[in-house]
Amino acid sequence: MTKMFGNPIPFNQLIDSNGTYINFNAGTGELVLQQPGNYYVNWRAAVGGSAVAIIFSLALQVNGVVSSGQISGSDFLTITTTQAVMTLNNVTGNEIILFGILATANLSIIYLKV
């Protein structure tokens, strides 16, 4: 599966939403954070290569703003609005090839109650 520059990395299933704070759209790869507050996010992706790029980068984006960028990582997010849209995007600068396995990418989100 090839993902063009700027496109979201797909997740084919939601294993556990842990309540109603997070909604998942499998068609767009968007995760919608319904509740303002603090979230811990952890991700990784299996990237198989690129016809051009030798270094790969993914970016965790919230409402289009880059929070962090690397193939795997974690971040603490403070969301101040409802309906915050989060995606994990290819920001390599070129298309990338994702391994053709069932678990191409995973992302965990935990809502932190204070």
98 is in which domain, residue-wise? 2-112
Longest pairwise C-alpha distance within the chain: 46
CATH number of the domain that residue 54 is part of = 2.60.120.40
Tens of pLDDT, residue by residue over 10-51, are 766 666 656 677 888 877 778 888 889 898 888 877 766 666
Q: What confidence score (pLDDT) does residue 102 get?
A: 45
**How many distinct structural domains can be found in the chain?**
1
pTM beyond 0.75, yes or no: no
pLDDT tens digit string along 59-113? 777 887 776 656 667 888 888 988 888 888 877 777 877 665 444 677 788 888 7
How far out from the chain centre does Cα 42 lie? 9
Count of CB atoms situated within 10 Å of the CB of 19: 9
